[in-house]
Amino acid sequence: MADLRTTTPTHSRILGVGTYRPRRVVSNEEVCGRIDSTEEWIETRSGIRTRRFAAADETLCDMAVLAGQEALKHAGITADEIDCVVLASMSNLVQTPPAAVVVAHELGAANAAGFDISAACAGFCHALAVGSDLVRAGSAKHVLVIAAERMTDIVDPTDRTIAFMFADGAGAVVVGPSGEPGIGPVVRWADGSARRALRMNTTWGEFRDDPSLEWPAMKMDGRRVFRWVVEYAVPAARHALDRAGIGVGDLTAFIPHQANLRMIEVMADLLGLPAHVAVATDVVTAGNTSAASIPSAMDRLLREEKAPPGGPALLIGFGAGLNYAGQVVLLPEARKTDA
């Protein structure tokens, strides 16, 4: 019998990161024009001051392409070197073809496969784990991992409980081979018993059959989500550190899902992060961009030089399901285009 040919395992790491933020900046004052609230209440409750809303010509795929281009520039590689595009999103209203396939074509990644992942606000960390595993197994040399969201398409702008939180945008990273470990083991779990804490109020099928129903939009039990994050996601973050063999004192950055500033502050406090660890707070000016929030926050920390290139960072995403995913990574080195 002939021997089956296999690929040679290797290590993986993030080679570059990029972001696309929609042009339109939306203030709390503007949001309050559609909901019964105040600017002070929104900022006190969430820490959010502004957020970005996509225009009609800023489609989910368009934003993903632009974020991907930035990540490729940072990594110093070209689109034709990408073997696979993995795209995480919970807000894509186009069921087929997969957004990743469209994005790969628009980028000129002619050699790439492409597929989508849907894991809500935890989607990026799930997608990053998949991309890392593809590289580590030798199934791909370079994987472009993108998270892109148009949350304004699935959030009711008059819902005072969440309309002020969610926003649009895209973030991307290039994952490639490395001589040393650069992406730690993923921790992940899903808790279907909490599925109603973040859900759609109506399905598209129900709305099709009875247009008198509310149009399909996301609903959230914020208090239940907060309690779940404290009970499960914070211990998961500790587990990610343990699996990577990293202590909190070794970290240079903590980049959680940018749900809201208050939740980020509570998580950082419960983890006992030392003062030198940069805590990502992109949510203050970008809002909650669901799966796109972690790569976008990573990009901002590096651009603003709040975290050193190459330093270890703890990522943890959590969202509808409820579910979480996280890992420790080495941040990408200095941008190739900055050299």
How far is residue 150's CA from residue 170's CA, in Å, rounded to a whole number? 9
Bridging pattern class, strands 198-200 and 218-220: antiparallel
- Out of 121, 125, 260, 323, pick the active-site residue: 121
Q: Which two tokens stand for residue 178?
A: 């490395």
What b/e string do you get for 54-72 counting C-beta neighbours within 10 Å, with b at 16 or more?
beeebbbbbbbbbbbbbbb
C-beta contacts of 301-307 below 8 A and 24+ residues apart = 301/253, 301/255, 301/331, 302/17, 302/331, 302/332, 306/253, 306/278, 307/252, 307/253, 307/278, 307/331
- Out of 74, 126, 142, 257, pick the active-site residue: 257
Calculate helix-pair angle for 99-107, 60-75, nearest 10 degrees: 50
How far is residue 107's CA from residue 57's CA, in Å, rounded to a whole number? 17
Is 257 considered catalytic here?
yes
How far is residue 308's CA from residue 311's CA, in Å, rounded to a whole number? 6
- Out of 28, 92, 288, 323, pick the active-site residue: 288
Residues forming the active site: 121, 257, 288
